[in-house]
Chain A
Amino acid sequence: MGKSFDIGLILDFIPKLLGYVHVTFLILAGAILIGIVIGFLVALPRLYRIPVLAQIAAVYVSFIRGTPILIQLFLIYYGLPELLKLVSIDISQWSSMFFVIVTYGLSIGGLFSEVIRAAVTSVERGQTEAAYSIGMSPFVAFIRIVLPQSFAIALPNLANLIIAYMKDTSLAFSIGVMDMTGRGQTLGTTTSHFLEVYISLAVIYYLVCILLESIFSRMEKRVSRYERKFG
């Protein structure tokens, strides 16, 4: 700290930090993409009650829900290169951005799977039966009938998870990723106005949060428009 508090600096810092906001979105987008794949891989064995795989999936979800994201981040950052060294792939020189995206993807995927599971089970079984009765295969019935309906149900929960993970991207700097928080650390060191930096960061995260919320609420309106209200 050292120097006295200067409120004008907050306005000064915001544009500087905002230049790094794309890193946050990049982590989030990568994590969501991986997360959706992992989410289905983990949810489907449990939905179709495939033995062994379903139990492994349950343990995976329990682990993700049971450990802090920071610990998961360190485990992947230190553990994954060692693991891949066994099959003689060397990734220890890869950028820490890669490890952050993988960790957040694996982590958000575990939680996505729970949302997907709940949403799919909340679609009436009659819908699947009706699809079968007009001759759809199980795969087509799932993709065309069950999935669109469960997406509308799952969306609010998915949105909450994504917003929560957006805030957690602020931990990426702990393994050296230059995101807004990382840039904030260096900015704080050079100007020794840490408090102002952190307040600016809080303002930016808050704005990003509001932005995401408004996008999701618009999406929610759109995907639930089939639920017409009859007069």
Chain B
Amino acid sequence: MQLDISFIMTAFLEILQALPLTLAITFVPLVIGFGIGIGIALIRLYEVRYIHRVAGFYVSFLRGTPLILHIYIVYLGIPMIFDRLSAHFGWGMNSSSIPLIIFIFIAFSLNAGAYMSEIIRSGILAVNKGEIEAAYSIGMTTRQAMWRIVLPQALLISLPNLCNMFIGLLHGSSLAFSISLLEINGKASIVASTNWKFVESYIAAAIIYWGLTLIAEQITGLLEKRLRTFAKGGVA
């Protein structure tokens, strides 16, 4: 067989239509996961009674199991719970009216939350303890010291890891096809099987993922340079 170069271009353009869906699957869980991550990280750092054990188990379990199983368990489990609640409270809705993408959002957010809580936790721990003492000494409350002093620095420290999280979610989004959402991987496999050109289609998909990853790395680099201006040593 010859590699059909021109078909890679055709496939590329066709697969590119799935880009918005892939980006949605990447960004929405990133934002929700970030919220979950901060919450879990704070619960574990302050060892909130009882819940910090639950939080610890949540993080360890989700980090210890494959993302594909999270997708399947959410996809099968949520409708079951939803239908039972719906029957109990008489919402007059059933789970088949939930759009598929919601399951992906839930599964990916829970997954991202577990990973991000560890990223944020290590970021917070890396902030010099003197910072929080200085904040207390000028009369800030714990909450103020956390939000105004520690977290901004912790997030800057975790920026490279958060970028990796973004890339991880981007690559993870290729699993959304397992519940038949047509993101880039799904589109590629349809283009592949309708035209019987598997290699070309997946090359096109790989180029898209690769390009997105490179762009994400560039943006993180720029962002880091900009945000780090305060951290420059010296006098000028």
Contacts and interface: CB of A to CB of B under 8 A. Distances in A.
A118 B61 CA distance: 29
B205 interface: yes
B80 A1 contact: yes
Contacts of A62: 210, 214
A75 interface: yes
Given A5-B80, A205-B66, A67 B199 contact: no
Interface residues of A, number: 33
* Prevailing SS type, chain A contact patch: helix
A27 to B, nearest CB: 13
B37 to A, nearest CB: 18
A76 to B, nearest CB: 10
Interface in A177-231: 181, 194-195, 198-199, 201-202, 205-206, 209-210
A210 B76 contact: no
B86 to A, nearest CB: 15
Interface stretch (A35-43, A120-128, A140-148, A167-175): A167-175
B174 A68 contact: yes
B198 A198 contact: no
Interface string B186-205: 00110010000011001101
A25 interface: no
Interface in A58-75: 62-63, 65-72, 74-75
* Prevailing SS type, chain B contact patch: helix
A79 interface: yes
Interface string B205-221: 11001110110000000
A106 B167 CA distance: 19
Given A75-B203, A199-B73, A205 B65 contact: yes
A1 B188 CA distance: 28
Interface in A69-117: 69-72, 74-75, 78-79, 82, 85
B76 A195 contact: yes
B209 A66 contact: yes
B65 A68 contact: no
Identify the interface centre among B69, B206, B211: most chain A CB within 10 Å of its CB: B69
Nearest to B216: A66
B68 interface: yes
Contact of B172 (A65, A68, A78, A79): A68
B69 A71 contact: no
Contact of B202 (A66, A78, A168): A78
- Which 5 pairs of residues, A with B, have the shortest CB-CB distance? A209-B64, A68-B171, A66-B210, A66-B213, A78-B198
19 contacts: A62-B214, A66-B167, A66-B210, A67-B206, A67-B213, A71-B174, A71-B188, A71-B202, A74-B189, A82-B3, A82-B199, A85-B1, A168-B66, A171-B66, A195-B77, A202-B69, A205-B69, A206-B64, A209-B63
Given A78-B202, A171-B66, A181-B68, 5 more contacts: A5-B80, A79-B203, A170-B68, A205-B66, A206-B61
